[in-house]
Each structure stands twice: as C-alpha cells, then as structure tokens.
Amino acid sequence: MRGSVHHTNDTVLVFYQNDFDAITREMYLQRHEAILNPNGSFHIDLPVQGISEWVVQLGDAFEIIHLAPSKDVVMYIDDSNHRFHVVATGHNSEYINFEVCANKATPINIQAENYPTPSAYLQAYKDAVGKRRVFLDRYRDTTNFDPEYYTWLSSYYTYLPYERTLVTQVGDSLRGDPALNELLISEGLEDDYAAHNVRIYNDLVRQYIYYKFNGVKFPLSLVDVMDYLDKNPLIGGKTKEVFYATCMYVMRESNESVYEKSLAVFKKNVQDQELIRRIEQYRTEYLASKNKLEQVKIDQNLSLSTILNKYKGKIIYIDFWASWCGPCKMEMPNAAALKKRLNSPDVVFLYLGYQDSQVNWLKAKDVLQIEGEHYLLTGDMVKEANTVFGIVGIPHYAIIDRDGRIVDKQAKRPNDAYHELLSLLTNSK
C-alpha cells in the first residue's frame, strides 16, 4: 500500500483489519501505522490474509476498504474541511473504490424494528442486496475489475441477508425454530469457495449444525458436536472440513486427552493438508505461549474496590473487555485515540479483563498494544463488577470521578466519551 495524504495536520495514517478470519473466527485488530512524509506520501506493507475488510483512519476520520493478498494499491486521501475523501488509482483500485462508491450509490440500511418477522426482514435485505448486485455488475463492466474480487463479493452478497437475519432477528427464543433454521440455509450448505473465504457463510453453517445437534442450547460441548457430525453427515466437502477446523481451533486450549480425542475425529474427516497444518500450528503456538505466559503472576487476592482505590484522585475510564469479544477489540483503536485526544495524566484508562483466560488475555493485550492499566478479573471480581456497574454484556464502560464516585455506570463508548471526560477533567481541578 502506498499513496499520499493531502490537506491534513496529522502525521500518522492507521490501518487495522475489521473482519473475522473465515476459519478461526479470530478478529485481528492490531494497528499498523504509516508515518506520513513531509510531502504527505506514505508506504506500508500490511499482513493481509485473504480478501478482507480493513479500516483506514486519519485522526477521527475513517473509511472502510477491502484488501487482498499480493494486491498492491495506490491510494490518495484528501482531508479538506475534514471530509476525508479516499480514492485509489491504477491496478487493484476497485478494492478501495467499489466499496466507497457502492455505499453511496446503493446503501444497505435495513432497520430491524421496521419488520415484524424474520422472513419480512430477510426479504427486504435481499431486495437491497439485489440492487447492490446490479451496481456491482455495472461497475465491473466499466472498470478493469479483478475476477477474484468479483467472486468474493458475489459469494458475500449471497449469504449477507441470511447472516444479518440471524444476527438481528433470531433471538434465543427462535434459535431452535425448525422453519426459521431451514430458511437460513436456503442457499444450501455445499459452497466450497465460501467455506474457505466467507466468514458469514460459516456462521450460518455453525448455526444449523448447533440447531440439529441440540436446538442451539448453550453451553454445548464441541467434542460432542464433532462426534455428532461424524455420525450424522449433515454437511460435506470443504464446508465440513472447515467446520471441523474451526472446532479444533477453539479447542486448541483443551487438555491433552480431550484434544487428542477430537484431533482423531478431525483427521478422520479432513483431507485438506493446509487445514491440518494450520490446526497443528495453532496448537503448537498455544502451548508455546502458555508456557511463556504462565510465568506472569496474576494477583488473585485483589478486589475490585482495591483496584479502584489505587487511582483515587484521578478520573477513571473503565473498559470491561475480553480477548474473545470482537466488539471489545474493535473499540481499542478508538480508546487509543481518546487517550491521545485528552492527553492528561489525570485520566486513567483502566482495562479490566472480563471472563477471560490468562493466556488469551495477555496475548490479546500484547497484540493490540493497549496502553493503560490492566487487570484480569477473577470470578468473584466479575460478580462484584456485575453488581456495581450493572454489566449484562461487554464491552461495557464506566466513569469514576476524582473522589471515587461512580458518575456513569454505563458510560459511552470511546468515540463518544470525550466531552463527558473533558467536563470532569475541567470542572474538578
């Protein structure tokens, strides 16, 4: 990636992936910074793994783009009047320009509350995506459009209405509904390309398998799910192999006996050597990191009140987060920007690991490069936090003033918390 930025006082252009891996479902939000030269030019190599969604950010402004491995892009950004206009030129420019143009020409803005049933919502979303497909075809016909990108977009748009219906319309009471689950797989479960490349397709596959297994009742055992699928071949081809690989990735932290039992089922059903290699690599990396990070001691005798009292006299912005929480990790760049904008030693950014394992928490903290004060909450501390701050899900934010009083149990997310924190900072000196 290279290009230039014009009409800005900022000196750093930030990139981070804003998507989940199609197989592991991991979300990688490590920030990658391109330092702008005096003339505004920049060059950066990004670790792109498959076609994926990225964010390019300059100060508080950002744009969503798509990137692909080994596809060099020349990008220009104009921040005149803080309008943040992004455009690419030359080969592979469609990875930047199509998404920007499509969102303006054919916006997909389907409000869930406007539709009384999941089927009505699904149809409205399919209609909107249909218009986007027409725009895609016209755009492709007038540009030198990469066939690989076209294939990915076509597959993505095929499953997007169903995935959005699952996410926004299917609550706990409907997850086991037979008719609805059959509706969600209307496009079938035999798409080898989507299995390897489109995460939302695999989300639909997982939902259907869980439905057939036990009606989507949690908690469920992945060991039992894998055994069930081994005896009841609901899916086949690459879809089956990728599902098994996803299970094994999650189970990479299991004890030896459980892991080896599941690995035998995995190898019985998976012939893809690249998937086998990746699963073995994930297990090896986990064991290596576990041995290393177990040397870090977590104080089990702390209480939540003890932690908070350490920072009395300062304003505390609390972030309850976890390594497994995608939305939590998505907010980390915004929190870093908020910290930089406030630029005050009198505001403490306190990050509290919530229902997380020590190994994953420490690793995520390191990868995301989160600057601030960090503690991993014990089970008792989680219960205390739930009671004190009314936590029902994460990410969850709270603000405490200099006197140790909770002034906002459910504070705004980093993008919207600046004025409240600034007011406290200014009025409590």
Mapping DSSP to helix (H, G, I), strand (E, B) and coil, where does residue 401 land? coil
Residue 340 sits in the same domain as residue 386: yes
Residue 33 sits in the same domain as residue 100: yes
Residue 344 sits in the same domain as residue 386: yes
Q: How far apart are CA 344 and CA 351, in angstroms?
A: 17
Q: What are phi and psi of 41, to 5 degrees?
A: -75, 160
> In angstroms, what is the C-alpha Rg of the chain?
23
**301 burial via Cβ count (<10 Å: 0-12, 13-18, 19+):** exposed
pLDDT value, residue 130: 98
Residue 281 sits in the same domain as residue 209: no
Under 8 Å between Cβ of 410 and 390: yes
Q: How far apart are CA 413 and CA 267, in angstroms?
A: 43
Residue 46 sits in the same domain as residue 118: no
Q: How far apart are CA 273 and CA 294, in angstroms?
A: 32
Residue 340 sits in the same domain as residue 416: yes
Strands 52-58 and 61-67: antiparallel
- Give the pair of three-digit tokens for residue 231: 């005896």
Strands 406-408 and 347-353: unpaired
Residue 289 sits in the same domain as residue 373: no
The per-residue DSSP string of 122-188 comes to HHHHHHHHHHHHHHHHHHHHHTT--HHHHHHHHHHHHHHHHHHHHHHH--TTTTT-HHHHHHHTTT-
Q: How far apart are CA 338 and CA 225, in angstroms?
A: 43
Tell me which residue has tokens 């920030």. 31
| CATH code at position 380 | 3.40.30.10
Residue 59 sits in the same domain as residue 130: no
| Full domain range(s) for residue 205 | 113-220
pTM value is 0.78
Residue 288 sits in the same domain as residue 308: no
Q: How far apart are CA 160 and CA 129, in angstroms?
A: 8
Of 59, 81, 105, which residue constitutes the final position of a domain?
105
Residue 379 sits in the same domain as residue 314: yes
pLDDT value, residue 368: 86
- Give the pair of three-digit tokens for residue 259: 């892991």
CA dihedral for 296, 300, 304, 310, sign (positive or negative) = negative
Lateral strand order in the sheet of 2-6? 41-43, 2-6, 74-78, 85-89
Q: How far apart are CA 313 and CA 402, in angstroms?
A: 4
Note the maximum CA span of the chain: 67
Of 192, 220, 248, which residue constitutes the final position of a domain?
220
The per-residue DSSP string of 216-255 comes to S-SS--HHHHHHHHHHS----HHHHHHHHHHHHHHGGGS-
Q: How far apart are CA 390 and CA 416, in angstroms?
A: 20
Q: Which residues of the chain have pLDDT under 70?
A: 28-29, 292-301, 428-429
pLDDT value, residue 295: 56
Q: In terms of residues, how long is the chain?
A: 429
Q: How far apart are CA 233 and CA 251, in angstroms?
A: 21
Please state the separation of Cα 176 from the chain's center in Å: 25
Under 8 Å between Cβ of 181 and 140: no
- Give the pair of three-digit tokens for residue 310: 């350490």
Under 8 Å between Cβ of 112 and 168: yes
Of 233, 266, 295, which residue constitutes the final position of a domain?
295
Instruction: For residue range 288-319, list pLDDT tens digits in order.
Output: 877 765 555 556 567 888 999 999 999 999 99
Bond prior to 395 in cis (omega within 30° of 0):
yes
Instruction: For residue range 175-230, list pLDDT tens digits in order.
Output: 999 999 999 999 999 999 999 999 999 999 999 999 999 999 988 999 999 999 99
Under 8 Å between Cβ of 243 and 229: yes
Residue 208 sits in the same domain as residue 241: no
Residue 333 sits in the same domain as residue 274: no
Under 8 Å between Cβ of 416 and 399: no
Domains in the chain: how many in total?
A: 4
